[in-house]
Amino acid sequence: MEPIKKGLDRVLQLASVALFALLVLVVVWQVFTRQVLNSPSAWTEELARYTFVWVGLFATALVFSERGHIAVDFVVKKFSPAAQKVVAVVVQLAIIFFAVAVLVYGGIRAANGAWNQSLSALPTQVGVMYLAMPICGAMIAFYAIYHLLAVLRDTEEAIAVDEDPQVV
């Protein structure tokens, strides 16, 4: 499972960087055509919007890989190690449920429902753009299963350790 995780991490890193670079280029072109050429590109706003969604979802999946998502754990840290493990298992199960039910299942339904709707400025359908939801949902579910198994095997801490803790 570790080689799959590392490979998926690398793909997500590259995809996130490429999508973010594309987003920057599209927005710069949009501003240039509007402000300098006085003839705004019709397709740039739509492509920027969907690229932003895709990069956001891909980066979210990458954050789940690193267990870097937001966690309010100051109360859980006061629990015994056994109780922390139980909470970690419940949290990972909730993440799996949400990823599968909302992102994968809901994303497939949304994509199917919009598959025949054409985008006004791009040569594709809205359903294709919605595919980011089930793709990222499957990746988040994979990462949650990976972390769930690691916590159960005691190869990973129940509560993610801060790399650079902030003193408040």
15 confidence band (pLDDT: 50, 70, 90):
very high
Q: Which residues constitute the domain of residue 35?
A: 2-152
Is residue 129 in some structural domain? yes
pLDDT of residue 129: 85
What is the average pLDDT score of the chain? 89
Q: Is residue 50 part of a domain?
A: yes
Residue 159 counted as domain residue: no
Q: Where are the alpha helices (DSSP H) in 1-43?
A: 2-35
**pLDDT confidence of residue 100:** 96
The domain tally of the chain equals 1
Residue 125 to residue 116: CA distance in whole angstroms: 6
Model confidence over 90-114: pLDDT tens digits? 999 999 999 999 999 999 999 998 8
- Six-digit token pair at 15? 């995809």
Confidence of residue 131 (pLDDT cuts 50, 70, 90): very high
Q: If you ran DSSP here, which 8-state letter would residue 160 be given?
A: P
Residue 135 resides in a domain: yes
133 found inside a domain: yes
Q: Are 110 and 133 in contact (CB under 8 A)?
A: yes
Quickly tell me which residue has 């995809």 as its tokens: 15
Domain assignment present for 12: yes
On whether residue 97 sits in a domain, the answer given is yes
In a domain, 18, yes or no: yes
Tens digit of each residue's pLDDT (9 = 90 or more) over 65-77 = 988 877 777 788 8
Average pLDDT rounded to a whole number, residues 7-21: 95
| Distance of alpha carbon 100 from alpha carbon 84, whole angstroms | 24
Is 32's pLDDT higher than 60?
yes
